[in-house]
Structure 1
Amino acid sequence: MDTPTPPQPTQRQRRRDRHGRGMRGPIAPPQVPLALSRADAFDDLVRDATERLERRWPQLAEVDFVVQDVPGRPDAELADGALPEDGVPLGRLVEGRKGSPPRIVVYRRPVEIRSKSREDRALLVHDVIVEQVAELLGLSPENVDPRYGED
């Protein structure tokens, strides 16, 4: 008896050009600021402020500058979850230990919330880094950078 042969599966090629509109691509080329995420743009602000200070204070090349989204649970936090009197920190200095250099941490989200524009954010990032460097070096912020606090 003649047995029908099952139909052979056809290999369909997957294409992204489903409706003849061309291949999908990025919304904006990589060199356009639109292609930067908010975190990447914030990292650039920290890098710019750091490079500016390292030209004046070469010993800062030994310091690690780190960006974190939000502060972790601070040691000064009260048991009931209330924040300390000075509120949410914008940055902090972590002293160096054996084998690890000092770190200056800048908290991205608290800085973004307190600034209205990119220019305000750049000034605030600069001020936070200057304050932490001043604490590290044992100087006043005005001695670290004469432009500290300028609007």
Structure 2
Amino acid sequence: MDSPVPPRPTEPRPRRRDRHGRGMRGPVAPPQVPLAASRSESFRDLVQDSVERLERRWPQLADVDFLVLDVPGAPEESVPLGSSAPADKERPARIVVYRRPVEIRTKNRDERAMLVHEVVVEQVAELLGLAPESVDPRYGQE
């Protein structure tokens, strides 16, 4: 008598439905939708928008490096929102906007965009040795 051959173990099939009969879930939002952008990415976009606005009026800003850092490096009496450094032999002029101090001082995206633009204008004015109103005539009016 031949003994019966045990059934071959089958590989589990990939699940196409969950236990409630619904299909597998996808991402909440596609990557091109702002929901998928992180806070730091959207903050960088605000800085970039502000820089592009100013570069139309001040083409020499194309030679300036604009950076976004989370927080200032060394603790000071007051927390700066931004800083600027003139060009030297090793590197071009640069302007830094600090993300967390700006976010803490604003309640929503519109306020954040206005404050970011003010910080960028102030730092550009300091770098160029001008008044902020001459860098952007709408400074302080928005």
TM-score, normalising length: structure 1: 0.80
Alignment of 1:1-150 (within 5 A): 11-12=11-12, 15=15, 17-19=17-19, 20-72=21-73, 74=74, 77=75, 83-84=76-77, 87-150=78-141
Contact kept, 8 Å, 2:69 with 2:99, in 1: the verdict is yes
Aligned-residue offset at 1:96: 2.3
Q: Is the 8 A contact 1:17 1:24 kept in 2?
A: no
Question: Which amino acid counterpart does residue 121 of structure 2 have in structure 1?
Answer: V
Matched length: 140
Q: How far apart in 2 are the matches of 1:46 and 1:68? A: 11
Aligned sequence identity (%): 67
Counterpart code for 1:118:
R
Q: Pairwise CA RMSD of aligned residues?
A: 2.4
Helix, strand or coil: the match of 1:149?
coil
| CA gap 1:9/1:63 in 2 versus in 1, 3 angstroms | farther
Unaligned 5+ runs, structure 2: 1-6
Q: TM-score, structure 2 length as denominator?
A: 0.84
